[in-house]
Structure 1
């Protein structure tokens, strides 16, 4: 048993077909939903079958302070304009010491949106970016 605290994750790394897009400090939307259809069997009034039908996956939002690696995100988004390629992605949750807590493989990834920072000298907040990606499921 590991003596490391599993709740100490502070950042996430993203790679697309092995190309590192950098580290993010926020990740939302790693989820799947299975639609269930009910089937009532004739003659068995005390039981209803629960059968899986469709699996849907939510989009994933990754956030971070603006870094030099934002250029890599812009290049990936620009590549969609010249032809859609559905690469595989890896998101890894990392501890402060860089050790991995968990990793998720994503099939057929597509950038859905990117929001850059609001640069306002009257508001000295941290300049952040948000990348939202869609996928068709998890892989090993």
Structure 2
């Protein structure tokens, strides 16, 4: 099925351990990197072995302007001091339609913990959207 629009201006839904934290306008940090150790071939000066050692995953950061969904994040953060546990997370990229449109992509993350939440800065001398962001550390994809 071909979509009538490219995957731009999407929004992202975030769920952690089945708890819906709402829609976010940006998502960055989805990725994986294989660290490689180099070993020179003995007696063959023109060849170096590239040996994979470990996979690392950068933190994922989602951001948005303040919305009523901010209360969902506040409730979720209120539980952290009593139960910091690793759970799974699901990030779903949706089309830019106002109604629930087709899903463009979904990423499931394993052993997720919230490592940072940044709230808005209020400065009456500047005309900017009040934003919040949430940063997640994880141990890979499901």
TM-score by length of 1: 0.89
C-alpha distance in structure 2 between counterparts of 1:3 and 1:63, whole Å? 25
Greater Cα offset, 1-10 or 73-82: 1-10
Counterpart of 1:112 in structure 2 is: 115
Secondary structure at the aligned position of 1:88 is classed as: strand
Cα distance in 2 for residues equivalent to 1:53 and 1:13: 33
Q: d(CA) in 1 for partners of 2:42 and 2:127?
A: 67
Q: CA deviation at 1:77?
A: 2.3
Q: Does 1:48 align with 2:48?
A: yes
| Alignment-derived partner of residue 33 in structure 2 | 33
- Which deviations, in whole Å up to 9, do the C-alpha atoms of 1:68-127 show, x marking residues without a partner? 211221222232211221010001111123211111111111111111112233323211
Number of aligned pairs? 139
Q: Is the 8 A contact 1:9 1:94 kept in 2?
A: no
Equivalent pair of 1:11/1:24 in contact (CA under 8 Å): yes
RMSD over aligned Cα atoms = 1.7
Unpaired runs of at least 5, structure 2:
none
- Could you list the per-position Cα deviations for residues 10-59 of structure 1 after superposition, in whole angstroms to 9, with x for gaps in the alignment? 21110112221100001111121111011223233332211111111111
Unaligned runs of 5+ in 1: none
- The correspondence of residues 66-77 of structure 1 with structure 2, limited to 5 A, is 66-77=66-77
Which shifted more, 6-15 or 107-116? 6-15
Q: Secondary structure at the match of 1:51?
A: strand
Trace 1:1-140 onto structure 2 (pairs within 5 A): 1-97=1-97, 98-139=101-142
Partner of 2:74, secondary structure, is helix
Q: Which runs of 4+ in 1 moved over 6 A?
A: none
